Each structure stands twice: as structure tokens, then as C-alpha cells.
Amino acid sequence: MDAVMTILHKITALPAGVMIALAILLISLIAGMNFGKSFRAAITIGAGIIGLYAMVGVFGSNIGPAIGAFVQRTGIQLDIADLGVFTLLMTTWGSPLAIWFIPVGLAVNIIMLAVRLTKTLDADILNYWTWGITAIVVYAMTHSVILALIGFALNEILILLIADWTAPKIQEHYNVEGVSIPHGNAALWPPVGIAMNWLMERIPGLKSLNADPETLAKKFGVIGEPVTIGVVLGALIGILGGLAWDGVLTLAVTLAAVMLVFPRMINILMEGLRPISEYLRDFMKKRFNRDVNIGLDAAILIGYPEVLAVGIVLVPIVVGLALILPGNHVMPLADLAIATPFLVTMVMPFCRGNVVRGIIAGTIVFAIALYVAGDLAPAYTAAGAAINLDVPAGTTWTSIGAGSNWFAWIFYKVLQLLGYSV
């Protein structure tokens, strides 16, 4: 068992770009693709993902201090700390259940493909942990491995079905043919985007307002271009955070760079993905008379201008929500810079890329996220304590990005009704 856990930890410690490149290489070779083409495509995909994560790091590390200062200036005093997605990731992969995540996740995906319940072949093995959020919540309440893994499997099944359902819209809007997004956090929010877009289609004035990046650029010229939007939003966040003038300028230029470079990384990723996606789709059609999509991390969508613009605008909005929502106990901080664009990646296509609609839908997403993440905080805190997670004593914590898993919250509430507690 110790040897298996050691291997598991080594695998999950690999960077996302390396993990996905290896998975893509293995899948393409099993399908009979030429090694040279498979290798080049897999390495290109890995390089693109590493580039995307590097830009996520640049975005978060530069905007994070300004957000922290902004939150301090608001004087927020709430009793549940947002310790961020990586704290929850360490808790989930550090759980005694983690040994089962990869084998169970692969088995469920293969079975669903075999019986035609899904068209998604999930290459994003590292993010199996997002389904494990439900597992650790169930385990914290019941101490039953079986019930926890049932929760894991049901969470995976739901996300794979959502990935299939949203794939046509994702592919059309972002021009990523052959891709679906079975990410256990971002994939939970398209229903909110659909509902809010339906509502906004019925509001005079709002329904006819075109505010996608292309339209903004045409209407306002250089002022409406993504780079300029990055400069303006970066400067505003810097000013709100009380940064010195040089800090404001640095943040402005940094966000402009992020808006410019992110799409380049996506192009590199798609350069590698297209030949493998086309080959696998042809292979599946010939051998099994069916189509298949490659499942990837929602991070590949963060770099689109409408997603970044909405995500940045949502930062002060989420802080405001934390202050005014009745019954909210979560102080948003560690997840704020990344969660805001991340959770709207799969919402934006259903808002037609409209930035105004995205901001409205995103506000609803994060209102729900704050309540869900806060309600689940005791389960996350207990799961972290069980593995001796390095968190200050007495801290009740959550993650507004990953910890806002409403599927895990449903399990949590059902188990409470059955008499279970943390």
C-alpha cells in the first residue's frame, strides 16, 4: 500500500502540462497513431498548457497583492477564510481515498465510453481530484470509503454528461474543435449562464446590447481592444488596492500582457491538439462508429478576452457580495484572482461572449459560490485536520473556486438529513 501511495503521489506531483502530455501520448499510441506525430503533438500540447499555467501564475501573482490590499481596505471581518484551491487540492490528494481516484476515474470513463453514455475521453487525469471533493465531504461525515467513492463516481458521471452537453457550444464559441471540458469546478456553472441569458433576452435594452470583445473593438477602436481593456482594468484594480503609482502602472501593463499572450498559448495548445483530435475521431468512427472529444482543463479557456475581462471586473464585485450577502461567512481572498475568470469560462458561451451578460451571470455564480463554499467549510476543515494539513489552529477554511461544488453540497445536505455530521 505504501508503495502504491508513493507512486500515486509522484504522479499527482507532476505539473499539469507533463501529466496531460503523457496521457495524450499514451492514448494516441494505443489508438495506433505514428510515434513521431504523437510525440510532437503531445509535447506541443504540454508546452501550451505549461504556457497557460505560467500566464495564470503571472496573472494571480500580480493581481493577488492588489486584491489583498483592497480586501483589507474594505475592513471585511468574516469567520471563514478562503485559503484557496491549492489548499483544497492538497487536502483532497492527501486524503486516504486518493489512492482510488485515478483507477476509479479511469474505469468510470472507459465504461461510459463503452456503453455510449459519454463522448468525452478525459485526458485531464490530474483534475480527477475535483470529483474527489464530493468524496472527502462524504468521508468526513460518514467515514465510509464505499459511500465516498460512490459520491466520487456520481460526481464524475455528472461532469462527463455536462461536458458532452456543453461541448458543441464550447467548440463553436472558442473554436476548439474536438474538445470538451469535464472540469469538476467550471463545468458546474453553465446552467446559471443559460438561465441568466434566458432572462436577459427578455429585458428591453439589455437584450439588444452587443458587448462582445469584437463589437467593442469595432465601436471603440483601440479603446475597446483586449490590450487596452487589460491596461484600464489593471490600473483600476491597482488604484482600488491603494498601490503606489509605479505599482499601478506595473499591474496595468502586466494585465495588458496577459490579455495579449494568453491567446498565443491557446494557439500553441490547439496546434498540438488538432492532429491528435482528428486522428482519434477518425479512429473511433472507423472502429466503433462513434465520435469522441478530448476532455481538457477549463484553464485552456481562461485566456479568451471576454473571460479575462469578466473575471477581472468580478473581483471587486465578489468582495462587495461578501460584504452585503446576508448570512455569508466567507472572506474571499486566496482564490479571488483565479476563481473569478475560471468559474465563468463555461458560462460565457451561453452568454454569447457578451461581457455585460457575463458580469451579471458571474455575479449570480459567485453569490451561490459564497454560500456553498461557506456551508461546506466544516467538512473541508475536518478533512484537512485528518491529514494534519498545515493550517493555523482554530481556522475554519474553504475555497470559493473549488470548494463551491454544489454537487458535493447536495450530498452534504442529504447526509445531514439522514443524521450525519462532521
Domain assignments of the chain as residue spans, ordered by start: 2-417
pLDDT tens-digit readout, 263-306: 777 778 778 877 877 777 777 777 767 788 989 889 888 878 88
Residue 118 region, left (φ>0) first, then alpha (ψ -120 to 50), else beta? beta
Cα–Cα distance for residue pair 214/281, rounded to 1 Å: 31
Cα–Cα distance for residue pair 259/281, rounded to 1 Å: 32
Count of C-beta atoms within a 10 Å radius of residue 256: 21
- What pLDDT sits at residue 19? 75
Least confident of 28-37, 191-200, 203-212, 391-400: 203-212
Q: Which residue has the higher pLDDT, 390 or 172?
A: 172
Cα–Cα distance for residue pair 154/171, rounded to 1 Å: 25
Residue 77 region, left (φ>0) first, then alpha (ψ -120 to 50), else beta? beta
pLDDT tens-digit readout, 136-147: 999 999 999 999
- Comparing CA positions, the residue from 334, 335, 341 lying closest to residue 313 is 341
10, pLDDT greater than 70: no
Do 240 and 316 form a contact (C-beta atoms < 8 A)? yes
- What pLDDT sits at residue 398? 94
Count of C-beta atoms within a 10 Å radius of residue 128: 26
pLDDT tens-digit readout, 344-375: 999 999 998 888 899 999 999 999 999 999 99
Least confident of 72-81, 187-196, 310-319, 393-402: 72-81
Angle at which helices 355-386 and 305-324 pack, to 10 degrees?
Answer: 60
